[in-house]
Amino acid sequence: MSSLPDPLHRRPRTVAILQARLSSSRLPGKVLLEVAGAPLLDRVVLRVLRSKTLDQTVVATTRNAQDDPIVSACAHLGVLCIRGDEADVLDRYREAAIATGGEVLVRITADCPLIDPEVIDQVVEAFHSHTADYVSNTQTRTWPRGLDVEVFSRAALDRAWQEAKAPWQRVHVTPYFYQHPERFRLHAIVNSTDHSHLRWTVDTTEDMELIRTIYHHFSSRDDFGWREVLTLMEQVPALAQLNQHVRQKSLEEG
């Protein structure tokens, strides 16, 4: 007699939500700019899809007509695209969670073309193995900026959606969690070596120059891992100087 899986031990449905829009202030249209022959958004989505711990990957964009090309890009990639409020990204995430039935949500931004599926899986597994509402590798910064992964429960998302009032809490989705440790169980993923001085996200033309240089080094492939990039930057220190002066905007700046 065959045994059926015990529904009480079913792993919660885990959904990655990638926020993307074309009206970024410092580098407009960046998520569809070309990186070694493919749009930046394609690079991010295809890397996320290699994660072994995700049940679904969706893109959350705005209802603005300006973002129609993102919807078309998602159709080409074969991933679901959810549209919502431009400024209230927290609400956009909740709409995506409802649409996909996500019980565990993974926040990734579409301007991180070096996001590593191995890192995604590490943070997701940590969420499942700890009794936590929110797990990330960003609470204590030891990873290169651009490998950011945040994982939280649907219940935590719903609470933040109801209670968060500050504009930056709505725009950045997750600050309400770590700004209220008395209300949420938090767990931080800290790397054994501090690489937080490295910037692998895209906000400026200098950031994009670095990313394009890295992809060119890897012959336009996108299956290389973050450790390979780290080795490259250790071998060619000048690479880090391309964007080392770029300042990350504060939460309040949006």
Task: Give residue 58's domain range.
Answer: 11-247
Examine residue 110 and state whether it is found in any structural domain, yes or no: yes
Examine residue 1 and state whether it is found in any structural domain, yes or no: no
Examine residue 4 and state whether it is found in any structural domain, yes or no: no
For 86-99, how does the pLDDT look when each residue is reduced to its tens digit (9 = 90+)? 999 999 999 999 99
Examine residue 6 and state whether it is found in any structural domain, yes or no: no
Examine residue 3 and state whether it is found in any structural domain, yes or no: no
Examine residue 167 and state whether it is found in any structural domain, yes or no: yes
pLDDT at 8: 57
Half-sphere exposure of 241 (CA within 13 A, CB side): 3
Say if residues 59 and 143 touch (Cβ distance below 8 Å): no
Examine residue 228 and state whether it is found in any structural domain, yes or no: yes
Q: What are the DSSP calls for 50-73, one per residue?
A: T-SS-SEEEEEEESSGGGHHHHHH
**Looking at the 3D structure of the chain, how many domains does it have?**
1
For 141-185, how does the pLDDT look when each residue is reduced to its tens digit (9 = 90+)? 999 999 999 999 999 999 999 998 998 889 999 999 999 999 999
pLDDT score of 247 more than 80: no
pLDDT at 26: 81
Instruction: Taking each helix axis as running N to C, give the angle between helix 205-217 and helix 226-235, from 0 to 180 degrees, rounded to the nearest 10.
Output: 100
**pLDDT tier for residue 248 given thresholds of 50, 70 and 90:** low
Q: Which of 95, 175, 101 shows the shortest CA–CA distance to 139?
A: 175
Examine residue 254 and state whether it is found in any structural domain, yes or no: no
Q: Which of 228, 244, 90, 236 shows the shortest CA–CA distance to 171?
A: 90
pLDDT score of 130 more than 50: yes
pLDDT at 48: 98
pLDDT score of 252 more than 90: no
pLDDT score of 109 more than 90: yes
Q: Indicate which CATH number applies to the domain containing 155.
A: 3.90.550.10
pLDDT score of 62 more than 60: yes
Q: Which of 190, 14, 31 shows the shortest CA–CA distance to 113?
A: 31
The beta-strand segments (E) located in 165-204 are 186-188
